[in-house]
């Protein structure tokens, strides 16, 4: 269950990252929800326009109303009974939908009360609070439609998911879980075992010493979801290489370092055999200054680079941790 807190970031406390038991999960229904929110709910997360158009055309009447509580004001805290958690093994989505449809309305109302500290839920939740059974049926109907549209794409994405499983496995085997986690969600920062995400309706989750399930989604590049289910934390994130479903010219293989930190960041790390300025890195990486700064910030969050002022300029240096990672993944 997510609980609200009065700061502007959601904190996902993982405890000792080095001691986490990490494994891969399956999140087709979570993906369907993410795409529905993007296409129908207006919560843009980078899904391709072709996917969004197909979902909007197929959406049943009242779909926007059903998703409004989850999208108004870009809020993210929602009752855990509504958030499809990843499964340990592939499970038919219709089975998951029926389980969600069977949710006790009293459970939904109880979780809303817990989230909002016993007070009256905000206006956006009014329809769910007044007619929880009717609202739940409408909500599940939207997810069912999203899945019907999306299922063929999920099947087409098997190769992308296999490569993602290899990437996660590679990071686990080589002790590179921390830099992997620091790069899964574009807006997240990993600090001292806590994954922080900017959030206008923040939450605090604690999963130290538990299992962490990483569940790749075939979704927009800014999508993401997290929670705690059955004693394990889970994180659903956009799989790398989703664009390959639409770009037949994309490469099908990559080196180990690129698989863990991404091709752009791998290029930047390899360039840092000597200290470089941000401008020099941008030229080598073939990126604009703002894009290079963004990737360097993520590498710095993962303790793979550090900055050093030399006179009037700032030089970027690779850390010993980055050197060790590159040796492992060479």
pLDDT at 271: 87
- Nearest-CA neighbor of 33 among 50, 19, 16, 45? 45
Mind listing the pLDDT tens digit for each residue in 115-131?
Answer: 888 777 888 888 899 99
User: What would the two tokens of residue 48 be?
Assistant: 């391709």
Segments making up each domain of the chain, as ranges = 3-243, 254-328
pLDDT at 74: 47
User: What would the two tokens of residue 136 be?
Assistant: 């739940």
How far the first Cα of the chain sits from its last, in Å, is: 41
Mind listing the pLDDT tens digit for each residue in 142-175?
Answer: 999 899 888 887 888 888 888 889 989 998 888 8
**Is residue 223 within 8 Å of 46, Cβ to Cβ?**
yes
Write the class of the CATH domain 254-328.
mainly alpha
- Nearest-CA neighbor of 1 among 236, 230, 194, 235? 230
pLDDT at 73: 53
User: Has this prediction a pTM greater than 0.75?
Assistant: no
User: What would the two tokens of residue 167 be?
Assistant: 């990437």
Tell me the pairing of strands 211-217 and 225-229.
Answer: unpaired
pLDDT at 330: 55
The CA-atom distances, in angstroms, between 60 and each of 129, 141, 254 are 21, 8, 41
Q: CA 156, CA 158: separation in Å to the nearest integer?
A: 6
Alpha carbon dihedral 171, 177, 180, 186, in 10-degree steps, equals: 160
pLDDT at 53: 78
pLDDT at 103: 95
pLDDT mean values, one per 10 residues, the chain (330 residues) = 55 87 91 90 79 80 88 68 86 92 94 83 87 95 89 83 89 88 85 85 78 90 85 88 54 59 84 89 82 89 88 90 78
The CA-atom distances, in angstroms, between 26 and each of 31, 75, 213, 234, 252 are 10, 24, 9, 11, 22
Q: CA 124, CA 177: separation in Å to the nearest integer?
A: 38
**Is residue 310 within 8 Å of 275, Cβ to Cβ?**
yes
Q: CA 128, CA 121: separation in Å to the nearest integer?
A: 10
pLDDT at 96: 92
């Amino acid at each position: 269950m997510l609980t609200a807190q009065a700061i502007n970031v959601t904190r996902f406390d993982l405890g000792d990252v080095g001691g986490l038991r990490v494994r891969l999960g399956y999140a087709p229904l979570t993906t369907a929800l993410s795409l529905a929110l993007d296409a129908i709910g207006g919560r843009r997360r980078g899904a391709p326009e072709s996917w969004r158009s197909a979902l909007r055309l197929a959406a049943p009447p009242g779909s926007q109303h059903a998703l409004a509580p989850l999208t108004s004001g870009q809020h993210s805290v929602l009752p855990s009974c509504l958030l499809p958690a990843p499964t340990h093994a592939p499970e038919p989505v219709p089975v998951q939908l029926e389980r969600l449809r069977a949710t006790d309305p009293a459970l939904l109302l109880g979780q809303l009360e817990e989230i909002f500290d016993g007070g009256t839920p905000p206006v956006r939740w009014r329809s769910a609070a007044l007619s929880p059974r009717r609202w739940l049926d409408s909500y599940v109907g939207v997810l069912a439609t999203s899945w019907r549209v999306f299922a063929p794409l999920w099947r087409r994405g098997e190769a992308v998911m296999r490569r993602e499983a290899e990437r996660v496995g590679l990071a686990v085997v080589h002790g590179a879980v921390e830099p992997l986690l620091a790069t899964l969600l574009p807006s997240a920062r990993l600090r001292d075992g806590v994954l922080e995400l900017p959030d206008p309706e923040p939450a605090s989750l604690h999963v130290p010493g538990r299992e962490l399930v990483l569940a790749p989604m075939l979704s927009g590049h800014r999508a993401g979801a997290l929670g705690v289910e059955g004693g394990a934390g889970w994180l659903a994130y956009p799989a790398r290489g989703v664009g390959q479903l639409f770009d037949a010219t994309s490469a099908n293989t990559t080196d180990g370092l690129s698989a863990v930190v991404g091709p752009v960041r791998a290029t930047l790390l390899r360039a840092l055999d000597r200290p470089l300025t941000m401008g020099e890195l941008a030229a080598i990486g073939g990126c604009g200054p703002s894009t290079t700064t963004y990737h360097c910030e993520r590498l710095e969050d993962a303790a793979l680079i550090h900055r050093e002022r030399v006179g009037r300029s700032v030089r970027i240096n690779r850390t010993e941790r980055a050197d060790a990672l590159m040796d492992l993944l060479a």
